[in-house]
Amino acid sequence: MKRLAGLETEYGCMAPESFGLPAVPTRVRDYIFKKKKLGLIDLHDRDYDEPAGNGGFLFNGGRLYLDMGHVEYCTPECLSLADVVAYDQVGEVLLQQALQELHLASEVSFLKNNIDHYTSATFGCHENYLLHREAPLTRRNVDTLLAFLATRILLAGSGRVGMTLAPRRYGKVESSEFVPYQISQRADFIQTDIYEWVQFNRALINARDEPLADYRRFRRLHLLLGDSNLLPFCNALKVGTTALMLDLLEADALPELAFELPVDIMRKLSHQPSGPWKVQLLDKCECSALDVQEMFLEAACSGKIDLDADARWTVEAWKTTLHHLRHDPQALIGKLDWVTKQYLLESFIESEGITWRDGWLESLDLEYHQLNPAKSLLAGLPGTALIEQGLPGLAKRDFFLKPPPNTRANLRSEAMRTILHKKLSYVIDWDLIYIGEGKQIHLDDPFVHDIKTLHTFRTTDPR
């Protein structure tokens, strides 16, 4: 890829109410940092809801912490699709191993999903992409990007049973519309196109200008609409296609294409797992959402941007996926999450002689997202392993302890090991590290990865 990317995944947790305090996420966090010693826990308050000890950075360059009671795992800054997906999978394995080693796995489950069917709560998978500050974020380009994101769920949705109603704890509300299954877990929760905050009035694009790097050179595109993906192919396709769209944006080479109400379009598409996926453009013309995606694919192949190995993999995967969505969706079983989950649930419905209204299916919906392979519906499904996806440059490294060697995550990890070895005090953040008495390491350039080329190191006088 030509840009840094990373994922933040919020995990659901199911545990018996009798467990009491401390809650399972707290016990798992403490086990990872204090027993396994896989990172350095925060010694400072990061925010009013992130006190000291709430989480910390990991030696692999990522971060793990508690966010409003649930575990959140962030990948390090990555420059390849293979690294994004591999480090994202580390979060899954870390949490499951912690449950097993704490002897909790028989009673407790972590879920990599985005919906609590009982409370109608949602938890996200946020995507982060580095953009150059001078990227032409014109109204035309932003409208096109929104159209891409609204139709991207056909590639990247994780699927879900039912639709979002009022929380059942307040009394189940019946809807005149019955949606037995839909493509995206997050579609019912996205409320607007662009907005600054994360928790309220959720948007396709989070407008908060927080680059976590040199603000004069970079900005960070923060996306809230995406589902958490279990299948590596789907995860890589989601990130790869979006990265290509941003390459086109920076080259000011996006096709001119806009929807009047992209959020409504996304929700409508999500409610139609069997099609027809018709969308209305701003000029009132109607076409297929697959045609819209084809336009974006053609733009990526137009020669207006250079295609590296990751981009070439993405283009071929994109082309194949759109072809199968048109002609043979079952060929995408084991590739796209929403197609795979639908196939598994339909097979169960047929074998048990039940209907989509059976409450059993909501339970199975969650089992698809189980991190425990003994309970997961995905366990044993052939062709789903990361190594089988043909991603370029998949490294042979310890993704649990080693950071990407080609981003600033490498510097942060080196600094953390020095801190641990010399027992120094510290404050660690994505773009700045304080060590001991007055030493600072500035990581404003997220591409600088070698201490020999880091020119922003300086010592300040604490007086």
Report the catalytic residues.
Answer: 67
- Cα-Cα end-to-end distance for the chain: 44
Tokens of 457: 């190191």
Based on the number of CB atoms within 10 Å of its own CB, is 249 exposed (0-12), middle (13-18) or buried (19 or more)? Answer: buried
Based on the number of CB atoms within 10 Å of its own CB, is 241 exposed (0-12), middle (13-18) or buried (19 or more)? Answer: buried
Tokens of 54: 């709430």
How far from 262 is each of 152, 288, 308, CA to CA, in Å? 11, 14, 30
Query: Rounded to 5 degrees, what angle do the CA atoms 5, 305, 125 make?
Result: 20
- Under a CB-based contact definition with an 8 Å cutoff, are residues 104 and 32 in contact? no
Tokens of 358: 């059976």
Residue 180 CB-half CA count within 13 A: 14
- Under a CB-based contact definition with an 8 Å cutoff, are residues 239 and 84 in contact? yes
- Under a CB-based contact definition with an 8 Å cutoff, are residues 141 and 29 in contact? no
Tokens of 101: 């080693």
Which residue, 47, 29, 25, is CA-closest to 37? 29
Q: How far apart are CA 277 and CA 134, in angstroms?
A: 35
Give every CB contact of residue 89 below 8 A, 6+ residues apart in sequence: 232, 386, 399
What are the φ/ψ torsions at residue 51 (nearest 5 degrees)?
-70, 170
Q: How far apart are CA 89 and CA 75, in angstroms?
A: 9
